[in-house]
């Protein structure tokens, strides 16, 4: 059994309660045993004392959208290497997307991932199960059995369900088992051959554009069906101002719907593609600067409730191609928090709102007892130095793939220590 | 004292009477977007001299004898490839044509692998055509020699824009202030993009004319004016530039039928009447007679389409000459 630990002289931030004050946390039996304001509480005998030096102590991050290559494409990323990357980025829990080979669409695979992750991972990995068998968009999977096996949400991963009738049935059936549905919205017929945001820049590059309607049309449809079914529905990610307006309207009618955003859509815009840089080929595509600003505003006003990394490891073979032929996606677990802190340092979003979207909001969606500073919860915590300057180096990433959008980027603020169940799983000093 | 000026030597060898063209300071020609007004004018002047060479009985200009030029075409094009081949041979280059068959499954792999192989053969210049925008630039980053973009997806086709500009300049004496209407499948056309960039840089007044389904978003940032009506778009034009409509686009997805397209956007005498009486008609070829252009117009007195083909060789000689001369000077 681990000996007790006290993390003292910390700035405690608990986004769920709005707490932001100096204090200390006592960890016993892997759980948060006590939270004290000011000086440390009575420290048990033999307890290890960790001086936080005034740094922020917050709940570990919960990332709703992570792709790995295991099973099927282990050369891109294994569960273990993704967990290393997560720990280094302060992510203590992530939701694994079912787009693996084979697809996570049955109980045996859910069980496999849970056992495998428990054996090798430093952090908590929960599988999301496919909404339809093989992600083919034809027949729904066994929601009830998948939930029993340990799947935490239902999703089509990278793909988007085209069949509105099937989605309606899926939402209704998911309500039956109180399973959250997290859906990526992209209409295939409106996306067409598009590979980046439609507009003047795509036209100048001679690349086919993806109109915003490819997102807004299915988003509107999804929200109507979600409201009618009463299911817990979360739009995986939105990318443009028009989508934020649609979500804003739906939120007035129900608190059973919500939406998330990729950190990339908050930090980057289509101009980052520059001269056909395939690392910036993402899904949803990077949009115009006005859209990026609208995403930041929607986060600040609560329209967007969760931020994820959209971590999607791709190897050289899938990225070193002409832009239109390259795969979508970028790694992001290790840079998620630092990039989010850019918004805080710029004065665009306050720290509490940012951390809430990275901790308790995604945890609540999945029904997890984490993402909070709460007595009795597992001690999944991070120490953040808000002002630490550093430069992203792809060679220093823990991920097996190097497709970061932030190579060479200057950051301010990073995780310096990550705890899972009270144990240190990442220490910057190591 | 001027003994170490290689340009003097090469232009003397050419026997051309024109003064030495200004130096060309780019390693590759990837697009018109990289050129400024002076560089465009320099290339056109250089091409003008090549027109003379090409009309002589002995068309050989042994200026670049022993150089190796590879024409790497991932997309079939007999005309453009032949034009580059003739241009290279007239300069004295050893020209190798490579057609690379690509299946949709492994296009990217083929590109990078092929490039590594070719680079090892020590060519001096590679002319590349590829169906993906940006592919030629990607390739240029992996080789030690010069690269000429022979067309990349719907991005750029710089030598086409240069040959069009040379043709216009020979007829109109200038480019600035002319009204040029580019008509047809703008959305999928690299010819349209390169021409808009070049004509914009030379301060011509550009127009695009097409049904709205063939106009890409944001085209107004590239073109001076945007029209969906041919009569309005051609009114007062000095130059009418038609684009090829891929027949597969006129199957009801973007355009309902060839019949309807021809009725509203095909260039016939009636529509051409809106342009200036001395307007010239251009087409990058190959043409679809009866789809985007009436044969009477295509083969009529105002058509300069055949001349464009001739100018194509001269422009490609000029581009190859500029790059190979620079290579000689810079190693």
Label residue B282 by pLDDT band (50, 70, 90): very high
CATH number of the domain residue A317 falls in: 3.20.20.140
Q: Does residue A260 sit within a domain?
A: yes
Among the partner residues A209, A321, A326, nearest to B217 by beta-carbon distance: A209
Q: Does residue A385 sit within a domain?
A: yes
Q: Which two tokens stand for residue B25?
A: 């300071």
List per-residue pLDDT tens for chain A, 430 residues long: 678 999 999 999 999 999 999 999 999 999 999 999 988 777 888 899 999 999 999 999 999 999 999 989 999 999 999 999 999 999 999 999 999 999 999 999 999 999 999 999 999 999 999 999 999 999 999 999 999 999 999 999 999 999 999 999 999 999 999 999 999 999 999 999 999 999 999 999 999 999 999 999 999 999 999 999 999 999 999 999 999 999 999 999 999 999 999 999 999 999 999 999 999 999 999 999 999 999 999 999 999 999 999 999 999 889 999 999 999 999 999 999 999 999 999 999 999 999 999 999 999 999 999 999 999 999 999 999 999 999 999 999 999 999 999 999 999 999 999 999 999 999 998 8
Q: Does residue A372 sit within a domain?
A: no
**ipTM at complex level:** 0.87
CATH number of the domain residue A37 falls in: 2.30.40.10
- Do residue A111 and residue A46 come from a single domain? no
Determine contact: B144 vs chain A, CB below 8 A. no
Q: Does residue A162 sit within a domain?
A: yes
- Do residue A21 and residue A64 come from a single domain? no
Contact A198 B217 (CB under 8 A): yes
Determine contact: B219 vs chain A, CB below 8 A. yes
Label residue B102 by pLDDT band (50, 70, 90): low
- Do residue A191 and residue A304 come from a single domain? yes
Residue percentage of chain B with pLDDT more than 70: 91
B132 to chain A: which residues are within 8 Å by CB? 322-325
Say what the pLDDT of residue B46 is: 96
Q: Does residue A238 sit within a domain?
A: yes
- Do residue A65 and residue A111 come from a single domain? yes
- Do residue A147 and residue A257 come from a single domain? yes
Average pLDDT for B95-99:
91
Say what the pLDDT of residue B10 is: 38
Express each pLDDT in B226-242 by its tens digit.
999 999 999 999 999 99
- Do residue A53 and residue A66 come from a single domain? no
Q: Does residue A17 sit within a domain?
A: yes
SS3 state of residue B217: coil
The last residue of a domain, from among A316, A346, A366: A366
A322 to chain B: which residues are within 8 Å by CB? 107-108, 111, 130, 132-135, 138, 153
B137 to chain A: which residues are within 8 Å by CB? 275-276
Distance CA B249, CA A194 (A): 16
Residue B185 Cα, gap to closest chain A Cα (Å): 13
- Do residue A108 and residue A138 come from a single domain? yes
- Do residue A196 and residue A100 come from a single domain? yes
Q: Does residue A373 sit within a domain?
A: no
- Do residue A264 and residue A388 come from a single domain? no
| Paired sense of beta strands A233-235 and A257-262, if any | parallel
Q: Does residue A77 sit within a domain?
A: yes
Among the partner residues A211, A276, A321, nearest to B137 by beta-carbon distance: A276
Say what the pLDDT of residue B76 is: 85
Q: Which two tokens stand for residue A300?
A: 């600040």
Say what the pLDDT of residue B19 is: 61
- Do residue A279 and residue A393 come from a single domain? no
Say what the pLDDT of residue B16 is: 44
B155 to chain A: which residues are within 8 Å by CB? 205-207
- Do residue A131 and residue A51 come from a single domain? no
Residue A314 Cα, gap to closest chain B Cα (Å): 15
Is A240 in contact with A263 (CB distance < 8 Å)?
no
Is B73 in contact with B99 (CB distance < 8 Å)?
yes
Backbone angles phi, psi at A70, to 5 degrees: -115, 125
| Paired sense of beta strands B225-227 and A91-96, if any | unpaired
- Do residue A187 and residue A223 come from a single domain? yes
**Residue in A219, A131, A144 with CA at minimum distance from that of residue A177:** A144
Express each pLDDT in B296-311 by its tens digit.
999 999 999 999 999 9
Say what the pLDDT of residue B14 is: 41
Determine contact: B130 vs chain A, CB below 8 A. yes
pTM recorded for the entire structure: 0.91
The angle that helices B37-55 and B190-201 make with each other, rounded to 10 degrees, is 110
Among the partner residues A201, A209, A325, nearest to B108 by beta-carbon distance: A325
Residue A71 preceded by cis peptide, ω within 30: yes
Please state the three-class secondary structure of chain A as a single string.
CCCCEEEEEEEEEECCCCEEEEEEEEEECCEEEEEEECCCCCCCCCCEEEECCCCEEEECEEEEEECCCCCCCCCCCCHHHHHHHHHHHCEEEEEECCCCCCCCCCHHHHHHHHHHHHHHCCCEEEEEEECEHHHCCCCECCHHHHHHHCCCEEECCCCCCCCHHHHHHHHHHHHHCCCCEEECCCCHHHHCCCCEECCHHHHHHCCCEECCHHHHHHHHHHHHHHHHHCCCEEECCCCCHHHHHHHHHHHCCCCCEEEEEEHHHHHCCHHHHCCCCHHHCCCCCCCCHHHHHHHHHHHHCCCCCEEECCECCCCHHHHCCCHHHCCCCEECCCCHHHHHHHHHHCCCCCHHHHHHHHCHHHHHHHCCCCCCCCCCCECCEEEEEEEEEEECCHHHCCCCCCCECCCCCEEEEEEEEEEECCEEEEECCC
Q: How many CA atoms lie within 13 A of A363 on its CB side?
A: 24
Residue B112 Cα, gap to closest chain A Cα (Å): 8
Overall number of domains in chain A: 2
B135 to chain A: which residues are within 8 Å by CB? 322
Domain hosting A345: range is 60-366
């Amino acid at each position: 059994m681990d000996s007790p630990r006290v993390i003292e002289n910390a700035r405690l931030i608990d986004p769920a309660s709005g707490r932001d004050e100096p204090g200390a946390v006592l960890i016993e039996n892997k759980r948060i045993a006590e939270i004290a304001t000011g000086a440390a509480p009575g420290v048990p005998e033999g307890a290890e004392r960790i001086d936080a030096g005034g740094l922020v102590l917050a709940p570990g991050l919960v990332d709703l959208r992570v792709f790995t290559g295991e099973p099927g494409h282990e050369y891109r990323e294994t569960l273990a290497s993704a967990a290393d990357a997560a720990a280094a980025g302060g992510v203590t829990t992530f939701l694994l997307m079912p787009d693996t080979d084979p697809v996570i669409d049955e109980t045996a695979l859910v069980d496999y991932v849970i056992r495998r992750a428990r054996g090798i991972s430093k952090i908590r990995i929960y599988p999301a199960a496919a909404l339809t068998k093989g992600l083919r968009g034809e027949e729904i999977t066994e929601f009830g059995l998948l939930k029993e096996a340990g799947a935490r949400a239902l999703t089509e991963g990278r793909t988007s369900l085209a069949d509105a009738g099937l989605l309606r049935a899926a939402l209704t059936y998911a309500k039956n088992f109180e399973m959250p549905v997290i859906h990526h919205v992209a209409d295939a017929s409106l996306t067409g051959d598009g590979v980046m945001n439609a507009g003047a820049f795509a036209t100048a590059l001679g690349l086919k554009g993806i109109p915003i309607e490819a997102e807004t049309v299915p988003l509107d449809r999804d929200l109507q069906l979600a409201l009618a079914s009463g299911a817990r529905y979360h739009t995986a990610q939105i990318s443009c101002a028009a989508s934020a307006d649609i979500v804003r309207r739906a939120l007035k009618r129900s608190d059973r719907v919500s939406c998330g955003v990729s950190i990339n859509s908050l930090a980057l815009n289509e101009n980052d593609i520059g001269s056909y840089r395939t690392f910036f080929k993402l899904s949803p595509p990077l949009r115009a600067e006005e859209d990026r600003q609208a995403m930041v505003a929607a986060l600040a006003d609560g329209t967007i409730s969760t931020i994820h990394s959209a971590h999607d490891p791709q190897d050289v073979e899938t990225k070193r191609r002409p832009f239109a032929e390259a795969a979508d996606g970028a790694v992001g677990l290790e840079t998620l928090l630092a990039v989010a802190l850019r918004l805080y340092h710029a004065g665009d979003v306050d720290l509490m709102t940012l951390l809430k979207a990275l901790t308790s909001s995604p945890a609540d969606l999945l029904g997890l007892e984490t993402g909070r500073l709460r007595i009795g919860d597992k001690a999944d915590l991070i120490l953040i130095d808000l002002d630490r300057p550093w430069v992203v180096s792809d060679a220093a990433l823990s991920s097996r793939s190097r497709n970061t959008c932030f190579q060479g980027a200057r950051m301010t603020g990073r995780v310096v220590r990550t705890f899972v169940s009270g144990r240190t799983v990442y220490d910057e000093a190591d | 004292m001027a003994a170490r000026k290689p340009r003097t030597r090469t232009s003397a060898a050419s026997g051309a009477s024109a003064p030495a063209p200004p130096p060309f300071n780019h390693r590759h020609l990837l697009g018109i977007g990289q050129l400024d007004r002076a560089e465009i004018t320099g290339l056109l002047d250089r091409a003008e001299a090549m027109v003379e060479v090409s009309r002589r009985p002995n068309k050989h200009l042994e200026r670049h004898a022993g150089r190796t030029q590879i024409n790497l075409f991932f997309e079939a094009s007999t005309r453009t490839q032949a034009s580059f081949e003739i241009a290279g041979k007239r300069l004295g280059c050893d020209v190798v044509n490579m057609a690379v068959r690509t299946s949709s499954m492994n296009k990217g792999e083929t590109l990078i692998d092929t490039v590594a192989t070719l680079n090892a053969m020590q060519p001096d210049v590679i002319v590349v055509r590829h169906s993906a925008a940006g592919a030629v630039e990607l390739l240029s980053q992996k080789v030690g020699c010069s690269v000429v973009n022979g067309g990349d997806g719907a991005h750029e086709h710089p030598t086409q824009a240069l040959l069009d500009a040379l043709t216009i300049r020979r007829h109109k004496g200038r480019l600035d202030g002319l009204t040029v209407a580019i008509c047809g499948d703008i959305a999928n056309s690299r010819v349209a993009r390169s021409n808009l960039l070049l004509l914009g840089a030379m301060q011509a007044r550009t127009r695009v004319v097409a049904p709205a389904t063939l106009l890409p978003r944001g085209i107004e940032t590239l073109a001076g004016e945007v029209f969906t009506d041919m009569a309005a778009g051609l009114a007062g034009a000095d130059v009418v530039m038609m684009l090829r409509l891929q027949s597969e686009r006129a199957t009801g997805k973007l355009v309902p039928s060839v019949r309807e397209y021809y009725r509203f956007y095909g260039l016939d005498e009636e529509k051409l009447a809106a342009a200036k009486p001395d307007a010239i008609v251009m087409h990058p070829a190959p043409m679809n007679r009866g789809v985007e252009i009436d044969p009477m117009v295509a083969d009529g007195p105002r058509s300069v389409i055949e001349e464009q083909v001739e100018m194509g060789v001269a422009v490609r000689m000029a581009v190859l000459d500029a790059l190979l001369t620079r290579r000689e000077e810079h190693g």
